[in-house]
Structure 1
Amino acid sequence: MHHPSELPPHLRNQPFTVAEARTAGLGRRRTRARDLVSPCYGVRATAATPDSLLERVHALTAVTGAVVSHLSAAVLWGFPLPQALENLAVVHLTSRPGQRAVRRKNVVGHEQSLGPEEIVAGVRVSCTSPLRTWFDLAGIVSLDDLVIAGDFLLRRRNPLTTIDALDAFLAGKQGRTGYRGALRARALIRAGTDSPKETELRLLLVRHGLPEPGINVPMFDETGGWIQDPDLSYEQEKIAIQYDGGHHAGPAQRRSDIFRDENARDAGWRVVVLTQWDLTPFAPGMDPTAVTRVRAALTERGWTPAPGLRPRRNRGARDARHPSDTNGR
């Protein structure tokens, strides 16, 4: 059995173009050998290379010289995205100044100017910066999802930017496509969150006419001892709101949560524990359980809504536009 010849060292661990193979002295037969795959036209990679977004964009940028952007950059940065958009087969690429938009199968090509500070060069690919990536999402995702992505930028642990940097960035984008949507989202973005669900819950409560809760505000007992940082809270009414995701179902975490909440109750706090089931109404026209439970807790502690206050229209729940709608913008 004929075994393909060994690749030159500089072509072994990364995608390479057919032109690069020819320059290295490889013939047509070698570039079609069974130990190589073609992740995109004109590019080869070893068959052992895993099929992942990073590998696909690595191959595409190797042959096009473009910058990974929009939804593809958001996935690489780890942005929380709707599941329908997170696993798309298409790749978003923005051409560098002076180059035409990429036109390839399963590629959404964009033509837009990017400043040097808006491009981050990684070890394997170059992609748009976190701020530019977030701004580009304004024409693709719903308002709520854009706020969730913005909170992710300013998360409590390992934030990708700061409030001041976000505001300065937006100031330079006035009049650009997506600016109005980004500005609406900026009014709702808050720093210091720990999870996308905290943001989703906060937006839900405010939209239904409840006061905006604090985010991860430390709770102390009467001696000044720290108790916990509840996900959301109303300090004046001493109401703590905890969102328990799937990882809270484990025995060890559950014991920790019980101890956490007992200490808060001993200090005079009302604790409301919510899950995913509480965020969605049981039937059209009904308030989500999260809203009714938090409203009841606030009322119990003496809160009354302002006269004439009505829930705000759910502007953030509109359907996200398909990524192909932004092609070429």
Structure 2
Amino acid sequence: MQHPSELPAHLRGQPFTVAQARTAGLSRRRTRAQDLVSPCFGVRAAATTPDSLLARVHSLTALTGAVVSHLSAAVLWGFPLPKALENLAVIHLTTPPGKRAVRHKNVVGHEQALELEEIVAGVRVNCTSPLRTWFDLAGILSLGDLVIAGDFLLRRRNPLTTIEALDAFLAGKRGRPGYRRAISARRLMRPNTDSPKETELRLLLVRQGLPEPGVNVPIFDETGGWIEDPDLSYEQEKVAIQYDGAHHADPAQRRSDIFRDESARDAGWRVVVLTQGDLTPFAQGKEPLAVTRVRAALTARGWTPVSGPQPRRRRSGRAAGHTSEAKDHTPARPHPPDANGR
């Protein structure tokens, strides 16, 4: 059996268009050889190329010159998305006005103007910036999911933007499609979160009529020594809330959690530990156990419900002025998603 001829050096290890192959002198038969696959019409790639999102969008953008956007850009940047949207087969691509939207199988083409700062050039693909990606999600996600994605932008470690940059960006989008939904989400967003579940839990508590908790506000002992930064907390009532995800089942992590919580209790705090099961009602019409337990903890500490909207709790000057050595509050400059392994 005759093996296909070796590809020219500049076509190896990356997708290339049929037009590029012809320019390089390859025959039609060579472009149809078994060592090549066609990830999309008009594009060829090595058959060993993994079928990942990055490989697929690389192939498509090589053909169209479009910018990866919307849900596809959100996946590349690592945005938390609803499970139903995490592994969609379709790719979202954006082209500028006047250039027809991309039309391909399993492609959603968008035609919209993008500012230069809204495009991040990566080694393999160009995609919309984190801010522009989040704004585009306003037309796709529910309000709660948009808030979760927004908190991810402002997360405590390696945030993708700042509050100031977000507000300046939104000021320039007034009147654009998605603006009202984005502004509604902005009012509910809070910086310095560590996980999407923190946001989900915070929104659940407020929606059920409880006061808004602080996010990762540090707890100190009587000498001013740092104890922990609970996921959520009510400083006035000294109620700390911890959400334990799957990784907390690790024995070493569990021992650390127990020491963490006992130290907080020794300092006079009541600690409520919640898991995923506490966020979901066990029957239709029933209150999630997380709300019941947090309300009970607050009531035991003297809190009483008041009629009307609950005011947002303020951090004390002491808490706002301290940082923990274990926490990094320094914003990081965003990197293209394909340059940081996304």
TM-score above 0.5: yes
Map 1:278-297 → 2, pairs under 5 A: 278-297=278-297
1:129 aligned onto 2:129: yes
Residue in 1 that maps onto 2:274: 274
**What is the distance in 2 between the residues matched to 1:146 and 1:309?**
22
Stretches of 4+ aligned residues off by more than 4 angstroms: none
For normalisation by structure 2, the TM-score amounts to 0.89
Map 1:38-53 → 2, pairs under 5 A: 38-53=38-53
2:237 partner amino acid: E
**What is the distance in 2 between the residues matched to 1:286 and 1:157?**
35
**What is the distance in 2 between the residues matched to 1:265 and 1:224?**
16
**1:308 shift after superposition:** 5.3
**What is the distance in 2 between the residues matched to 1:184 and 1:287?**
25
Residue in 2 that maps onto 1:150: 150
Residue in 2 that maps onto 1:84: 84
Give the SS at the match of 2:273.
Answer: strand
User: Residues 273-309 of structure 1, C-alpha deviation per residue, up to 9 Å, x if partnerless?
Assistant: 0000000111122110000000000000001111356
**What is the distance in 1 between the residues matched to 2:284 and 2:5?**
65
Preserved contact between residue 67 and residue 96 of structure 1 (Cα < 8 Å): no
Gaps of 5+ in 2: 311-342
Give the SS at the match of 1:94.
Answer: strand
User: Residues 225-284 of structure 1, C-alpha deviation per residue, up to 9 Å, x if partnerless?
Assistant: 110010000111111100000000111111111111110101100000000000011112
Give the SS at the match of 1:139.
Answer: coil
Give the SS at the match of 1:187.
Answer: helix
Residue in 1 that maps onto 2:159: 159
**What is the distance in 1 between the residues matched to 2:64 and 2:275?**
45
1:25 partner amino acid: G
1:295 partner amino acid: R
1:140 aligned onto 2:140: yes
1:258 aligned onto 2:258: yes
Residue in 2 that maps onto 1:199: 199
Residue in 1 that maps onto 2:314: none
Residue in 1 that maps onto 2:34: 34
Residue in 1 that maps onto 2:216: 216
User: Residues 154-206 of structure 1, C-alpha deviation per residue, up to 9 Å, x if partnerless?
Assistant: 00000000001000110111111000100100000000000000000000000
- CA RMSD, 1 decimal: 0.9
Residue in 2 that maps onto 1:323: none
**What is the distance in 1 between the residues matched to 2:21 and 2:284?**
60
**What is the distance in 2 between the residues matched to 1:214 and 1:9?**
56
**What is the distance in 1 between the residues matched to 2:86 and 2:135?**
17
Residue in 1 that maps onto 2:329: none
2:305 partner amino acid: P
**What is the distance in 1 between the residues matched to 2:96 and 2:135?**
18
Q: Mean alpha-carbon deviation: is it higher for 145-154 or for 284-293?
A: 284-293
Residue in 2 that maps onto 1:15: 15
Residue in 1 that maps onto 2:57: 57
**What is the distance in 1 between the residues matched to 2:167 and 2:105?**
37
**What is the distance in 2 between the residues matched to 1:64 and 1:97?**
14
**1:96 shift after superposition:** 2.8
Gaps of 5+ in 1: 311-329
Q: Mean alpha-carbon deviation: is it higher for 90-99 or for 186-195?
A: 90-99
Residue in 2 that maps onto 1:324: none
